[in-house]
Structure 1
Amino acid sequence: MPSITTYYGISGPVPFVDVDVAGDNLLFIDPHAIRISGGPEPYVRDAATCMDTFFSEVTNCVLRGDDDAYRHGLKLLQRFQEPWETRHGMAAVGFRGHGGAESVGTLIWQTLLGDVEALVRIGALCQIEQLPMFVEGIDRDITSDITTRIIYGPLMQFTAEMLDTFPQFTAGLHRAESFERQVWDHHARRWTTVHGRLPIAHGRPLLLVPRGWSRRNLLMSARRYYGTTVLSFVQFEQAVLTSDGRRLKTPKAVLRKRPDLKPVRQTNIFQTLHAFDDKQDLIAAFEQFVDERLNDTTEDNTAA
Structure 2
Amino acid sequence: MLRKTIHYTEYFGITAKEVPFEDLDAYGDTKLFLDPHAIRIISGTEPYRSRAVDSIDTFLHCLTTRVLSHEKDSGDLLSHISEPKETHLGLVCTGHSGHAGSDFIAQQIWLALTTDLEALLKVGVLKHLEDLPLFVNGIDRDITSDITTRVIFDVLADFTHDCCSKYPELNQHGTITLAKDVWDPIQRKWVERSYKLPAIDGMPFVLIPKGWCRKQLLGSARRFFQIGSMGYIQQKQSRYDGVGKLLKPTKKMLKKQYSGSVRNTNVSATSTALGDNANIVEEFWKYVDEYYKAHIVKAA
Report the TM-score when normalising by structure 2: 0.92
CA deviations 1:263-289 (Å, max 9, x no partner) are: 110000001011011100101100000
Give unpaired runs (5+ residues) of structure 2.
Answer: none
State how many pairs are aligned. 291
Verify: 1:24 aligned to 2:29, yes or no: yes
Q: Which residue of 2 aligns with 1:274?
A: 272
CA deviations 1:32-51 (Å, max 9, x no partner) are: 00000124111111100000
Alignment partner for residue 45 of structure 1, among 43, 50, 55?
50
Which one is further off, 5-14 or 217-226? 5-14
Q: Which residue of 2 aligns with 1:191?
A: 190
Q: Which residue of 2 aligns with 1:147?
A: 148
Q: Which residue of 2 aligns with 1:70?
A: 72
- Flag the 1:95–1:74 CA change in 2: closer, same or farther, 3 A: farther
Report the TM-score when normalising by structure 1: 0.91
Q: Is the 8 A contact 2:85 2:97 kept in 1?
A: no
Q: Which amino acid aligns with 1:43?
A: Y
Deviation at 1:91, TM superposition (A): 3.5
Verify: 1:289 aligned to 2:287, yes or no: yes
- Flag the 1:255–1:88 CA change in 2: closer, same or farther, 3 A: same
Cα RMSD of the aligned pairs, angstroms, is 1.9
Q: Which residue of 2 aligns with 1:210?
A: 209
Deviation at 1:156, TM superposition (A): 0.4
Deviation at 1:295, TM superposition (A): 3.1
Q: Which residue of 2 aligns with 1:177?
A: 176
- Flag the 1:95–1:285 CA change in 2: closer, same or farther, 3 A: farther
Deviation at 1:24, TM superposition (A): 0.9
Quote the Cα distance in structure 2 between the aligned partners of 1:48 and 1:297.
Answer: 23
Q: Is the 8 A contact 1:24 1:87 kept in 2?
A: yes
Which one is further off, 240-249 or 209-218? 240-249
SS class of match (2:77): helix
Q: Is the 8 A contact 1:74 1:106 kept in 2?
A: no
Deviation at 1:296, TM superposition (A): 4.5
- Flag the 1:23–1:57 CA change in 2: closer, same or farther, 3 A: same
Q: Which amino acid aligns with 1:64?
A: S
Q: Which residue of 2 aligns with 1:246?
A: 245
Q: Is the 8 A contact 2:79 2:103 kept in 1?
A: yes
Quote the Cα distance in structure 1 between the aligned partners of 2:256 and 2:61.
Answer: 36
Deviation at 1:95, TM superposition (A): 9.5
Q: Which amino acid aligns with 1:47?
A: A
Q: Which amino acid aligns with 2:231?
A: S
Q: Is the 8 A contact 2:152 2:183 kept in 1?
A: yes
CA deviations 1:4-36 (Å, max 9, x no partner) are: 111111121111111101111110000000000
Give unpaired runs (5+ residues) of structure 1.
Answer: none
Q: Is the 8 A contact 1:91 1:97 kept in 2?
A: no
Verify: 1:4 aligned to 2:8, yes or no: yes
